[in-house]
Amino acid sequence: MTSASDRETGAKHLLDRRDERLQDRSGVTGALRAFIDRVRAGDLGSLPVVVGLAIIWTIFQWLNPVFLSPNNLVNLLFDCSTVGVIALGIVCVLMVGEIDLSVGSVSGLASALLGVLWVQQDWPVALAIAAALAAGCAIGCLYAVLYNRLGMPSFVSTLSGLLAVLGLQLTILGPTGSINLPYESALVNFGQLLVMPDAVSYALAALPGLAELLAGWRTARRRRAAGLSARSPGGLLLQAVAVTAALELVAGYLNLDRGVPWMFGLFVVLVMAMNYALRRTQWGRSMTAVGGNREAARRAGIKVGAIHLSAFALCATLAAAGGVLSAARLASASQQAGTGDVNLNAIAAAVIGGTSLFGGRGSAYSALLGIIVIQSIASGLTLLDLSSSLRYMITGGVLAIAVIVDSLARRSRVSHGRA
């Protein structure tokens, strides 16, 4: 039999060990130790894609010194924005363990609607854009109804949608198959030329670090109030300063040429808004719960059908937004819009960036990091005057590596009891 004094001694020992862990996690050393522990447990975060991006940039810069020139990087950011917005929608459906194979066709339909309504029907451009986004949202809601009411797998419904929406796009465009947008219009200038003033780019570069600092401080305060380990103010401040310094240097480097594109700035704002929604709202926590274990989420009182509806609707709406941006970038709406490798690049960007194909794990920043990787490969091979076939093979290899890393990380989390 264990005496009361022995139990008190054991409890005191556990409390002492907890206090030691709390102290060990404070400061820069503690933050580094916590990061290493997360990596060992399979929580890799964005580490693999950041390392891969550094390797890709190093290789292409060594092969062609023009690759990291300010002018080439500005062009790269312009190209990242269109498919990046579509990839952001893919993150939503992957978070709940589903897929949308029709995002390319939806983006093409949106560009066709924009061209027909704005150029041929003389609608105001804002109203034409709103109609294109509404069409995308309606398509996403239809997928959700087919899934929730009829149990149709998203793979099948969106594959059917890919063909149907593509046919609708060709019908809307008519026999000409292409509509040129007014080249001198504000929308086309936004997609091709407009860049931020230097002061604005420097100010916006400080926002991500500030946002992470405030969010981290609030989280740390709540964890300390609950008696849990939390990051120290010094560690949070150090991270914020490092992020801000890096982004300010990037903005300064791009300002040596034309500057930061407004279209890329819009993409980053959408990423930050989605990141906040996924990490800081009840909706975001419900998305993670549904993707992790649908039945457990239902038993916990989460409206699983509504979560699926929001995921599919957001994905298709963002695909339509990507189509509008693509039309602005190309100054035209044509039968080729949304075809080719748009689907491949959007889905690959989300997965390469770190969003799990198994659902329940992902980040809005996955779309940002993943599309930068893909466009870096495309830009580097173009500068080397190599064929697009090699780009497909390299992108496919990078995608396979990303899925393997995700699978191994998932297995590691299971072995540590964190799946």
Q: What is the DSSP string of 217-254?
A: HHHHHHHHHTT-----HHHHHHHHHHHHHHHHHHHHHH
Domain 45-194+261-415 class?
mainly alpha
Region 317-346 average pLDDT: 89
Q: What is the DSSP string of 316-347?
A: HHHHHHHHHHHHHHHTEEETTTT-TTHHHHHH
349 pLDDT above the threshold of 60: yes
Give 77-124 pLDDT, tens digit per residue: 999 999 999 999 999 999 999 999 999 999 999 999 999 999 999 999
Higher pLDDT, 330 or 390: 330
Alpha carbon distance 153, 135 (integer Å): 22
Strands (DSSP E) found in 297-419: 332-334
Q: What is the per-residue pLDDT for 25? A: 47
The token duo for 74 is 């500005």
259 pLDDT above the threshold of 80: yes
9 pLDDT above the threshold of 70: no
DSSP state of 261: B
Average pLDDT, the chain: 83
Region 259-267 average pLDDT: 92
Query: What are the two backbone dihedrals, phi and then psi, of residue 179, each rounded to the nearest 5 degrees?
Result: -130, 120
Query: What are the two backbone dihedrals, phi and then psi, of residue 19, each rounded to the nearest 5 degrees?
Result: -65, -35
Q: Which residues of 280-290 are buried (b: 16+ CB within 10 A; e: fewer)?
A: eeeebebbbbb
22 pLDDT above the threshold of 50: no
Alpha carbon distance 223, 227 (integer Å): 6
348 pLDDT above the threshold of 50: yes
Q: What is the per-residue pLDDT for 406? A: 65
Higher pLDDT, 205 or 176: 205
Q: How many CB atoms are located within 10 Å of the residue 255 CB?
A: 19
Q: Fill in the amino acid letter for 371.
A: I
Where along the chain do its domains lie?
45-194+261-415, 195-260
Query: What are the two backbone dihedrals, phi and then psi, of residue 334, each rounded to the nearest 5 degrees?
Result: -140, 175
Region 162-167 average pLDDT: 93
Question: Any idea which of 214-228, 255-269, 327-341 has the lowest mean pLDDT?
Answer: 214-228
20 pLDDT above the threshold of 70: no
**Which pLDDT band, with edges at 50, 70 and 90, does 264 fall under?**
very high
32 pLDDT above the threshold of 60: no
Q: What is the per-residue pLDDT for 411? A: 65
Helix, strand, coil shares of the chain, percent, nearest 5, are 75, 0, 20
The token duo for 194 is 């407009």
Alpha carbon distance 88, 90 (integer Å): 5
Alpha carbon distance 389, 382 (integer Å): 11
Contact assessment for residue 325 and residue 85, using Cβ atoms and an 8 Å cutoff: yes
Q: What is the per-residue pLDDT for 23? A: 44
The token duo for 162 is 């890919």
386 pLDDT above the threshold of 90: no
> CA angle 20-22-23, nearest 5°?
65
Higher pLDDT, 41 or 361: 361
329 pLDDT above the threshold of 50: yes
Higher pLDDT, 220 or 254: 254
45 pLDDT above the threshold of 90: no
Give 48-63 pLDDT, tens digit per residue: 777 888 888 898 899 8
133 pLDDT above the threshold of 90: yes
Q: What is the per-residue pLDDT for 384? A: 83
37 pLDDT above the threshold of 90: no
Most confident of 70-74, 225-229, 241-245, 382-386: 70-74
